[in-house]
Amino acid sequence: MNVPTEHLLVLAAALFALGVLGFFVRRNMIVVLMCIELMLNAAILTFLAASRLHSTPDHPSMEGPVFAIFVIAVAAAEAAVGLALIIAVYRLKQSVRTETLGEMGG
């Protein structure tokens, strides 16, 4: 069964919108990181759908999967650095709420 490309793009838009909504509404830093991951996954899905849309049976387009691999690498680095920052903030403030970041000015 072949899913139409338009459905993939609509799903990617919905995932990205859900990630943006969660990023702006939630106050927990771990949930904010998960929303960023959701937005990056939506971008990966968009790259793959666009690649499939622009490929032909004779010449498959490989730009989408290549970009997707780069986005996966960026997402892994973002998760590692983000979790390290969350641990550092938790050790300092004993909280992972985003309001505690505004009080860290020196």
DSSP 8-state secondary structure symbol assigned to residue 98: T
The whole-model pTM stands at 0.85
The pLDDT tens digits for 50-88 are 998 888 888 888 888 999 999 999 999 999 999 999 999
Please state the domain extents for the chain.
Answer: 27-99
CATH architecture observed for domain 27-99 = Orthogonal Bundle (1.10)
Cα–Cα distances in Å, from 88 out to 17, 33, 34, 40, 91?
29, 15, 18, 24, 5
- Determine the Cα–Cα distance for residues 103 and 106; give it in Å rounded to an integer: 9
Band of residue 97 on the pLDDT scale cut at 50, 70, 90: confident
Strand (E) or helix (H) holding 13: helix 5-25
